[in-house]
Structure 1
């Protein structure tokens, strides 16, 4: 039974410590929408999504009012569009028309984002995969709420370096296509290794083909709650520190479990997973970097940062898995630069570099996330950065991702404003030495030996 003290404690988490349910994401399979006629395909997609999601936003708002729990975003993820559009799409414009349909229906049902303009190419690319990837700059420059993700590697299959090289070009082209808006299109484009099928967070969400026809996935977030809890054990041993994080993660996840159960019942859609990631926002007091500071490093990036982040990530997972039968998605701690005021402060102080961020991604949930870089960064350099991050995911059997934003017309020392949850970012310097000969080799980096576990 829940007692009065727990109710009061939860209220304080919400009112004073920025506890929220970051997203309810409705996953929708579009496999039954496939048609060789493009017009019919777009009609099928619109109708399937609209019928499935028409009550999503209203239900989320109703749950939020009844339980007093902020639910920040309502989102949709769909089957990777490269699979859905292959029979009908012959040009980049054909694929982009599907993105425009997704944008239209997402706005009609009122969600914040729709994810799944995606392709899974870790071992090779079909003609449809390649065509969708090449259409991304057009798709993201002609839509507002569509998000795209491309999985180019996995522990089981290795890294598709042809796809990595292509994505270096696509990121740069997307930046150019949206340069009038500070290259914002790149904020909606993620390159993955070991992408999960059930991630509720954007921009990387898609509805995996192994999932049910419809599913509810919920992402919770509470960096401020964890930081406040750690303030009470300042100077204590690592054992006490870890126990405090675990207990706090348990409480945060229980809130998400409550919302997920209610949303599932009211929408008549099966519950999928809780993603218990600590997802920061630009709001003061809602920062993963501030947790690292509370653990004992002066700034994110100082010596000890990677160890502190590893500790935090592990304890969050240990606490969260006790609170829900189905934990999935990414689950851990996000370290996006632009979305975390503490990370921004660390970059501006000179404590945090791109290379240190890469080291931190070995132990965090995702990877190099929401990092603004000079607009004149070469596409081969972007491909090299992607390759490095994919290697970390492949070797360590974990999800990693890259969301770089080469801001056209801006350089190191300048800042870029994205607004809302995306925040703002100082433009970080990038290593200027060439990797052209490496990324231009073509082919595939083989899977590591420890992938053969059958």
Structure 2
């Protein structure tokens, strides 16, 4: 690795909001399964606190040594539905509290993996975990939950889609901000270092380090250097910038894995915006030539950006994975917030953009009286986009009690604030209530 190129990014760190968004340790809990849930939880706590004992310490040492800010230190674990099923417990809140205690003990910001994979059907353990999500998230502050309801290979589980709309509404009744720690996926990946959707897949090694790099401000500055060039030149500029940023992530990931004595998993190069000025994916799209994000041409510009970022990452590192691409959260991106307030960026346009971004409908605030079946229909639409396009899509929506279009909600921190977006009032209940399974597309047959 050419460290000279890496240190060319110093100016990006100092002036363009470049940071390493997260180093995430993935830990397998398959060896913690036990019919006695108390025994299983003790095994889980012991393994996490042993494997991740020095994670935060190593992250801080790398920050100091290389001058690279690492915003978050996180953990992902094997989907808890796979671990807790042997116990026969009526709910899995005990497991969530164990994850919370372990995360607090080692000092990480978040821990992901209170999860179930139900793309083709639900086991009793899956149903128990899903039903436990509201109480589990209310009882914790660092635990994140996710449910995968569909895939290109299997189709979409509409029974799970319906249930997840109901879970979102139940969380709203407890505390709307809890929905910020729940993601519903199609084609979920096993090596995602970002939250709230991260979990440690069963195909992963026992313990790995995954790195999530971000840098919308860096890409924005690069695009501004080619204001009148053709789009292929803009794409090449983005690709070269992504290359440098990914190299930085590979350096940190390699250092962390060596110091912790675990495998390096992947480097995820995702343009994850923050509310900070200049750290916006929307601003990049506008620098490409849009008056305001959300106008005609937005989807095309985002497709180019996403593809160029992936190409730059793959060229830089042999272990690029996760979600790598551009995130388009409504609440965390100052440019997206502004466009939503102006009415240029609508829910439907965001949905169209998810066909070419790295994930899906993310951190979108909607009216508090939105029915559960409408939320389920949003999940179904996103899952269909992911299934047909063979890509990861996800939904993280925040219904806000007592608020409607024209108002907003303040999340604070990296989550920023979100204007309440309009949703269609017409009902989708009859379709959602049919349940069953939406068959996989014809191109799923690849054997």
TM over 0.5: yes
Report the 3-state secondary structure (helix = DSSP H, G, I; strand = E; otherwise coil) of the residue aligned with 1:87. coil
Map 1:184-203 → 2, pairs under 5 A: 184-203=177-196
What RMSD in Å do the two structures reach over aligned CA positions? 1.0
- Residue 240 of structure 1 is matched in structure 2 by 233
2: distance between equivalents of 1:270 and 1:411? Answer: 47
Q: 1:22 to 1:7 in 2, by over 3 A?
A: closer
Pick one of 139, 164, 169 that aligns with 2:166. 169
2: distance between equivalents of 1:89 and 1:426? Answer: 42
Unaligned ranges ≥5, structure 2: none
Report the 3-state secondary structure (helix = DSSP H, G, I; strand = E; otherwise coil) of the residue aligned with 2:434. coil
Using the size of structure 1 for normalisation, the TM-score is 0.97
- Residue 293 of structure 1 is matched in structure 2 by 286
Q: CA deviation at 1:8?
A: 6.2
2: distance between equivalents of 1:411 and 1:50? Answer: 43
Report the 3-state secondary structure (helix = DSSP H, G, I; strand = E; otherwise coil) of the residue aligned with 1:351. coil
Report the 3-state secondary structure (helix = DSSP H, G, I; strand = E; otherwise coil) of the residue aligned with 2:271. coil
- Residue 82 of structure 2 is matched in structure 1 by 83
Map 1:346-425 → 2, pairs under 5 A: 346-425=339-418
Decide whether the 8 Å contact of 2:6 with 2:248 is kept in 1.
no
CA distances 1:10-63 after superposition (whole Å, capped 9, x unpaired): 111000001111000000000000111111111111001000111000100000
Using the size of structure 2 for normalisation, the TM-score is 0.99
- Residue 438 of structure 2 is matched in structure 1 by 445
Decide whether the 8 Å contact of 2:115 with 2:199 is kept in 1.
yes
Decide whether the 8 Å contact of 2:6 with 2:244 is kept in 1.
no
CA distances 1:295-318 after superposition (whole Å, capped 9, x unpaired): 011111011000000000000011
Q: 1:47 to 1:287 in 2, by over 3 A?
A: same
1: distance between equivalents of 2:177 and 2:232? Answer: 43
How many residue pairs get aligned? The number is: 447
CA distances 1:190-237 after superposition (whole Å, capped 9, x unpaired): 000000000000000000001010011001001000000111100111
- Regions of 4+ moved over 2 Å: 1-4, 6-9
CA distances 1:398-438 after superposition (whole Å, capped 9, x unpaired): 00000001112222111111111111101111110000100
Unaligned ranges ≥5, structure 1: none
Q: 1:289 to 1:114 in 2, by over 3 A?
A: same
Report the 3-state secondary structure (helix = DSSP H, G, I; strand = E; otherwise coil) of the residue aligned with 1:357. helix
1: distance between equivalents of 2:187 and 2:399? Answer: 24
- Residue 327 of structure 2 is matched in structure 1 by 334
Q: CA deviation at 1:382?
A: 0.2
Report the 3-state secondary structure (helix = DSSP H, G, I; strand = E; otherwise coil) of the residue aligned with 1:416. strand
Pick one of 313, 338, 354 that aligns with 1:320. 313
Greater alpha carbon shift after TM alignment, 76-85 vs 411-420: 411-420
2: distance between equivalents of 1:305 and 1:64? Answer: 36
- Residue 216 of structure 1 is matched in structure 2 by 209
Pick one of 104, 113, 119 that aligns with 2:101. 104
